[in-house]
Amino acid sequence: MEGSKKGKVCVTGGAGYFASHLIMRLLQHGYSVRATVRSDPKFKEDTTHLKALPNASENLEIFDADLSRPDNFEAAIDGCIGVFHTAHPILFDAEDPESMVIKPALEGMRGILRACMDSKTVKRVVYTSSASAVAFNGQDLKEMDESVWTDVQFCRAQDVPIKSYFISKTLTEKAALEFAEENGVDLVTVAPSSVVGPFLVAHYPGCFATSMALIRGDREQCKVLKQMQFVHIDDLASAHIFLLECEQAKGRYICSSNDTTIHTLAEFLSNRFPEFQMPMDILSEMEKEEPVHLSSKKLFELGFKFKYGLEEMFDGAIECCKRKGFL
């Protein structure tokens, strides 16, 4: 691998929707990148889109590593100056969420942080959490900042298939911050809202299930949507790189640029994309609410600025979906 301008970083879960975009931006920024992917035949991940990135042949290496094997991240992390931990088990229909989702998320995170400590070269770890570790607390809050956490017990009591993701993200972020504090690891966590925008992966991004529910006419998803918060995928990638490089960054950061309700979103999408037939009859049965604000004030105070709005988010996502045959 040729020498890079800014040094070597590792991105876990590198084949995913967000991680692949982050890798693209890191290469553009002058970093050399080590991406970890799963090679298990059950979960073998396509890396064609990564190998095709500009500068990938010179500045991208791909390593086999899996959260279910916490000790196998050492080779990818050794010699890196920074680590972006984006990997997370996503099994919404897991028969045993505790052993299939929560346990590997926690043990994998600890294995990665131990590898960072052992490397003696890693200066900072940026962990990708989720707004789902913030917003599901059973409280009637109209604004939430980094002091707010999802209530795990509240989540466990809900009859929602996706709750294992909310719980695992919350427990993993809390445990990561505690581990870092106890062991002197420089860790920053990022809690993004729904990520929307163009994508490099060949498959339909799983996170689009809610954000694109109106466009796709997914009536079941629409029934459970009331509040929506969004961030453009490129703004999220830029925030990760910014937080790696900003010496003053510390602790937890919400990354969300747009708040809306399903009624306001439906009006926006129907005006901008009239070719799609949305299930408007469902909306007429739903009570209108004020949007809940996920505050990115802490991120703004460091000097970060968002570049994109809803137009760019959905233009990019829909163009990719059309080009790849999903719409």
The pLDDT tens digits of the residues spanning 161-190 come to 678 888 999 999 999 999 999 999 999 999
In this structure, of 106-115, 279-288, 299-308, the range with the lowest mean pLDDT score is: 279-288
CA distance 272 to 116: 46
Question: Encoding tokens for residue 98?
Answer: 């505790």
β-pair type (258-261, 227-232): antiparallel
Query: What is the C-alpha separation between 146 and 75, in angstroms, rounded?
Result: 33
Residue 51 near residue 29 (C-beta atoms within 8 A):
no
Among 304, 88, 283, residue whose Cα is nearest residue 176: 88
Read off the tokens for 96.
């045993």
Check: CB of residue 261 under 8 Å from CB of residue 227: yes
With contact defined as beta carbons under 8 Å apart, do 83 and 116 qualify? Answer: yes
User: CATH topology for 8-195+230-256+292-309?
Assistant: Rossmann fold (3.40.50)
What's the rounded Cα separation, in Å, for the pair 262 and 227? 6
Is the pLDDT score of 289 beyond 60? yes
Reply yes or no on whether the pLDDT at 39 is more than 80.
Answer: no
- Quote the pTM value: 0.95
104/110 Cα distance (integer angstroms): 10
Q: In this model, does residue 130 exceed pLDDT 70?
A: yes
Q: So what's the pLDDT on residue 59?
A: 96
The 8-class DSSP code of residue 142 comes to S
Domain boundaries, the chain: 8-195+230-256+292-309
Mean pLDDT of 21-30: 97
Q: Are 166 and 133 in contact (CB under 8 A)?
A: yes
- Helix, strand, coil in percent for the chain, rounding step 5: 45, 15, 40
* Per-residue burial over 44-70, b = 16 or more CB atoms within 10 Å of its CB, e = otherwise: ebebebbeebebbeebbbbbebbbbeb
Name the phi and psi angles at 324, rounded to 5: -100, 10
Measure CA 283 to chain center: 28
Number of DSSP helices (H) and strands (E) in the chain, helices first: 16, 12
Lowest mean pLDDT among 76-80, 96-100, 136-140, 155-159: 96-100
d(C-alpha 235, C-alpha 220), whole Å: 29
pLDDT at 2 (0 to 100): 44
Q: What is the pLDDT of residue 163?
A: 81
